[in-house]
Amino acid sequence: MRIARFTTGGEPTYGVITGDLDEYGQLSDDAVVAELQGDPLYAGITPTGREAKLSDVRLIAPVLPRSKVVAVGRNYAAHAAEMGSEVPEEPLLFMKPNTSVIGPGDAIAYPKQTEDLHYEGELAVVIGRICRDVPAAQATDVIFGYTIANDVTARDLQRKDVQFTRAKGFDTFCPLGPWIETDLDPQDFSDGRRLQTYLNGDLKQDGSTADLIFDIPTLVEHISSVMTLLPGDVILTGTPEGVGPMEVGDEVEVSIDGLGALTNKVEKRK
Ligand code: ZN
């Protein structure tokens, strides 16, 4: 299922999107969103019977983490190399505040404190159950689904601060979406799903999730051995090579085969 959150101007609600993806990962014009009552992450859901054309609604972030976004650094060897870094011996963790999350179509706000704002296209894992100390072999039991993220980073502040809290923690620095795909499993990504980032239509990142150094089950085991994971927590799995700067007015799109495309514009921070 493709689970989305959307609004038609009133309260956000969940829905299930039906329709085929075209070769660009976009949904066909006749795609429909069927409204759900309830919250799939915390309780049961039931269809309300109401439907809308996707073009008549606005998709918002498919999950608003109540607790945390845990991210993984240098999880693709070619990206570690372009950063002049070694591949870590175990997953390198950092966190982004849940207040950094925005949805598809929302603006990434360029802060005045940086002069080097980068995109990082990433596969995101959405946790569906409260859990800790999850063995890798049982990771699928606690995963709700998968979506796309842009781990927006102020690269100059990342270098200056050594640790990542400010550089990756500004409001709007975690676009998520466009929906959560619940029908895939970690092996689909280990087998290889193409991950691409376009800046103003130019291809900048062209990677494969097969190149993840630490795969999804390993990340779930590692992270849950450190901290309890809650429903709605999100894991960003790292970015392939090709990161680079964005400027005010740019449009950035991250696409992953089967997960659609996440598009955001960069605006000056008000
Ligand atoms: Zn990243």
CA–centroid distance, 199 to ligand 1, in Å, is 17
Q: Which CATH number covers residue 20?
A: 2.30.30.370
Say if residue 190 is in the same domain as residue 143: yes
Say if residue 28 is in the same domain as residue 54: yes
CA–centroid distance, 108 to ligand 1, in Å, is 16
Say if residue 79 is in the same domain as residue 40: no
Nearest alpha carbon to residue 239 among 25, 73, 61, 69: 73
Q: What is the pLDDT, as a whole number, of residue 130?
A: 96
Say if residue 44 is in the same domain as residue 94: no
Domain ranges, residue 181 = 69-268
Within 10 Å of residue 210's Cβ, how many Cβ atoms?
Answer: 12
Q: Which CATH number covers residue 97?
A: 3.90.850.10
Say if residue 55 is in the same domain as residue 151: no
Say if residue 48 is in the same domain as residue 95: no
CA–centroid distance, 149 to ligand 1, in Å, is 9
Q: What is the pLDDT, as a whole number, of residue 20?
A: 83
Q: What is the pLDDT of residues 12-54, one digit of tens each?
A: 999 999 988 887 777 887 899 999 999 998 878 899 999 999 9
**Residue 259 — very low, low, confident or very high, per pLDDT cuts 50/70/90?**
very high
Q: What is the pLDDT, as a whole number, of residue 43?
A: 79
Q: What is the pLDDT of residues 130-149, one digit of tens each?
A: 999 999 999 999 999 999 99
Say if residue 103 is in the same domain as residue 54: no
CA–centroid distance, 21 to ligand 1, in Å, is 26
pTM: 0.96
CA–centroid distance, 39 to ligand 1, in Å, is 28
CA–centroid distance, 182 to ligand 1, in Å, is 22
How high does pLDDT run on average in the chain?
A: 95
Q: What is the pLDDT, as a whole number, of residue 30?
A: 83
Say if residue 38 is in the same domain as residue 153: no
> Per residue in 107-124, is it b (16+ CB within 10 Å) or e — as a string?
bbbbbeebeebbbbbbbb
Say if residue 258 is in the same domain as residue 192: yes
Q: What is the pLDDT, as a whole number, of residue 107?
A: 98
Q: What is the pLDDT, as a whole number, of residue 250?
A: 98
Q: What is the pLDDT, as a whole number, of residue 29?
A: 75
Q: Which residues contact 251 (CB under 8 A, 6 or more apart)?
A: 199, 200, 201, 263, 264, 265, 266
Q: What is the pLDDT, as a whole number, of residue 19?
A: 86
Say if residue 149 is in the same domain as residue 181: yes
Q: Which residues contact 135 (CB under 8 A, 6 or more apart)?
A: 221
Q: Which of 4-18, 19-33, 86-100 has the lowest mean pLDDT?
A: 19-33
* Residues around ligand 1, an ion, CB closer than 5 A: 120, 151, 239
**Once rounded to an integer, what is the mean pLDDT over residues 148-164?**
96
CA–centroid distance, 162 to ligand 1, in Å, is 15
H helix or E strand, kind and range, residue 252: strand 251-256
**What are the tokens at 167?**
């550089």
